[in-house]
Amino acid sequence: MRSDKMKLSVIIPACNEEALIKKVVLDILEELKRESILNEIIIVDDNSSDSMPQIADRLASEYDNIRVIHRKPPNGIGRAIKEGIDNVKGDAIVTVMGDASDDPKDIVRYFRKIEEGYDCVFGSRFVKGAVVSDYPLHKLILNRLANTFLQVLFFTGHNDLTNAFKAYKREVIESMKPIESLYFNITVELPLKALVRGYKAASIPINWYGRESGVSKFSIRSLGRRYLYTSLYIWLQKMLIQDDIRDRGN
């Protein structure tokens, strides 16, 4: 189905991104305007201690389609994305990072795939056509190990499931509730739940750029266990869904 009326909700979780947030938002707005894509942008701030909240509020006062959510502690990118999801009004949802790592043109490509009829779109930085710059080596190694593990566990060709930049039809996200992850493990919870529920996911090459300012909030030490927990509980969900399908067939 291709409908010009479909609206895209862009959720940007951001914390202490004063150097980058304005550029991220304006670049996305420009690209979506050029492509005549109806949109809203929701910046979810988590108690930033820099000037980002003021910059975000100013953007929201200048543009009708921008909103800002200022969360109360505790922090967590999972909590932030969940709160963004609870506030969207669009038909499709894309989660975009606030540190300019994702390419606004890829947001448009995602949206076109959703318009084509896909339920979700998983970009990959590890297929032909993708451009990746300044990806730290230790993160690259961990990424490839984690994604290989997920590919085997879930028997899937998608090879960049851990990247947060993905798009979903709104009803797909609704079917995944309750969303449980409070931290970066939300980046695997959403795509894995979509896969085990049998949704149709497109895979496209995407670009990714290492952050040029600000500080990384990603800590693999505190996250390993959470990634493992989330992956295994969704794997168990998959078993239950398959049992249910079999039992209903009897």
Measured from the CB atom, the residue of 164 and 196 that comes closer to ligand GTP is 164
**Tokens 């339920």 belong to residue:** 119
Candidates 25, 29, 37, 44: give the one binding ligand GTP (CB under 6 A). Answer: 44
Closest CA to 82 of 164, 201, 177, 188: 177
Partner whose binding site includes residue 75, from ligand GTP, Mg ion, none (CB under 5 to 8 Å by kind) = ligand GTP
Which C-beta is closer to Mg ion: that of 101 or that of 143? 101
Q: Which stretch binds ligand GTP (CB under 6 A): 93-101, 119-127, 171-179, 197-205?
A: 93-101
Q: How far apart are CB 191 and ligand GTP at their closest, in Å? A: 16
Query: Among residues 109, 149, 211, 237, which is the contact residue for ligand GTP, using CB under 6 A?
Result: 211
Joined tokens for residue 145? 């190990």
Taking every pair of C-alpha atoms in the chain, what is the biggest distance, in angstroms?
60
When the beta carbons of 14 and 121 are compared against ligand GTP, the nearer one is 14
The contact pattern for ligand GTP, residues 53-92, with x = CB under 6 A and - = no contact, is ----------------------xxx--x------------
- Terminal-to-terminal C-alpha distance of the chain: 34
Which whole-number Å values give the CA distances from 219 to 27, 76, 84, 235, in the listed order? 28, 12, 22, 24
| Residue reference for tokens 């940007």 | 12
* Residues in contact with 4: Cβ distance below 8 Å, sequence separation at least 6, in sequence order: 36, 38
Rounded to whole angstroms, what are the CA distances from 60 to 42, 72, 133, 226, 230? 9, 19, 31, 34, 34
Residue 173 touches which member of ligand GTP, Mg ion, none, C-beta under 5-8 Å by kind = none
Tokens of 70: 């200022």
CA quadruple 245, 204, 191, 159: dihedral, nearest 10: 90
Q: Between 71 and 170, whose beta carbon lies closer to ligand GTP?
A: 71
State yes or no: residue 102 binds ligand GTP (CB under 6 A). no
Residue numbers of the site for Mg ion (CB under 5 A)? 99, 101
Residues lying near ligand GTP in the complex (CB under 6 A)? 13-15, 17, 44-46, 75-77, 80, 97-99, 101, 211, 216-218
